[in-house]
Structure 1
Amino acid sequence: MKFLQSLENVVTPTNGWAATAGAMVAPIFQYFYGSDRRDILVLLLIMIALDWVTGIHAAKKRMTYSSEYGLSRIPRTLFLLALPAVGNLLDRVMGTPGFLFYGVTFGLIYHTWTSLTANAHRAGWPMPKSIVNLVGSEIKAKTERSMRQKGE
């Protein structure tokens, strides 16, 4: 009886709708991204989120933050999330076992890593010198773009 009473908080209309939505969306994600690829996609999502966070902090510190620029990054982010799906679908069409999916996804992870690392450096967050040297060209490009935004 105690077990059934504890289910009162679990079996709610809201949880039912969430479970139904998840059951409907999960196969779509599996179709577009392939099965057993959640870990690499979660890593990509975390990297993109960190890039947004570090970018916002760097822009605010450099006084170049604008909501227009931030909103323009949404289509870019959607594009970045669509590329692995395109790679997976091309793999399926060509019969390759994840070659394009993993190549595209690891490329995006590396690109996003350099971007978020450069943003963190520009925000003034501590960064090992060897990492700063590794992403020096990205730091330079972001600094130049920031100066153009400010009109300097």
Structure 2
Amino acid sequence: MKFLQSLENVATPANGLATTAGAIVSPVFHYFYGTNRQDILIVLIFIMVLDWITGISAAKKDQTYSSEYGLSRIPRTLFLLALPAVANLLDKVMGTPGFLFYGVTFGLIYHTWTSLTANAHRSGWPVPKSIVNLVGSEIKAKAERAARKDYK
């Protein structure tokens, strides 16, 4: 009897809604991104979050932060998250299992990594000299963009 009473806290409308949402979203996620690809997508999302954090810090440091610029980054981020899904669907159509998906996803990870590293350097955070040299062109491009008046 005690066991059944403890289920009252589990069988709630909120838990039922969350379970239903998960049952609907999971197959859609697997259709668009493929199965067993959660780890690489988590890496991509994690790096994007770090890029946002370092970008906000760098923009505040050089006083180029504006809410309009920050809000314009939301559609860009959603677009970047859609690219691996498009690549996966193209892989399905062309019969290339994962070739485009992994190529696009690793390309996005590398691009976002250079951006977050340049932002961290602009923020004054400790970045090894060898890494700064590797992303020097991105650091220069971000500094030039921040110096333009139309950027603010």
TM-score (normalised: structure 2): 0.95
Task: State the SS of the aligned residue for 2:133.
Answer: helix
State how 1:98-117 maps to structure 2 within 5 Å: 98-117=98-117
Task: State the SS of the aligned residue for 1:3.
Answer: helix
* Aligned-partner Cα distance in 1 for 2:108–2:88: 14
* Aligned-partner Cα distance in 1 for 2:150–2:123: 16
* Aligned-partner Cα distance in 1 for 2:120–2:78: 22
Identity of aligned residues (%): 79
* Aligned-partner Cα distance in 1 for 2:70–2:149: 13
**TM-fit CA distance, 1:78:** 0.9
- Flag the 1:149–1:45 CA change in 2: closer, same or farther, 3 A: farther
Letter in 1 for 2:39: D
State how 1:77-88 maps to structure 2 within 5 Å: 77-88=77-88
State how 1:1-152 maps to structure 2 within 5 Å: 1-149=1-149
* Aligned-partner Cα distance in 1 for 2:9–2:48: 34
RMSD value over aligned CA atoms?
A: 1.3
Contact 1:32–1:89 (8 Å) recurs in 2: yes
Task: State the SS of the aligned residue for 1:11.
Answer: coil
**TM-fit CA distance, 1:7:** 2.7
Consecutive unaligned residues in structure 1, runs of 5 or more: none
CA offset digits 1:87-135 (Å, max 9, x no partner): 0000000001100000000000000000001111111111111111111
**TM-fit CA distance, 1:150:** 7.0
Task: State the SS of the aligned residue for 1:65.
Answer: coil
TM-score (normalised: structure 1): 0.95
Q: Number of residue pairs matched?
A: 151
Letter in 2 for 1:130: S
Letter in 1 for 2:135: V
Task: State the SS of the aligned residue for 2:54.
Answer: helix
* Aligned-partner Cα distance in 2 for 1:109–1:134: 15
Consecutive unaligned residues in structure 2, runs of 5 or more: none
* Aligned-partner Cα distance in 2 for 1:71–1:93: 34
List structure 1 segments (4+ residues) > 4 angstroms apart after TM superposition. Answer: none
**TM-fit CA distance, 1:81:** 0.5
Letter in 2 for 1:90: L
* Aligned-partner Cα distance in 2 for 1:135–1:3: 59
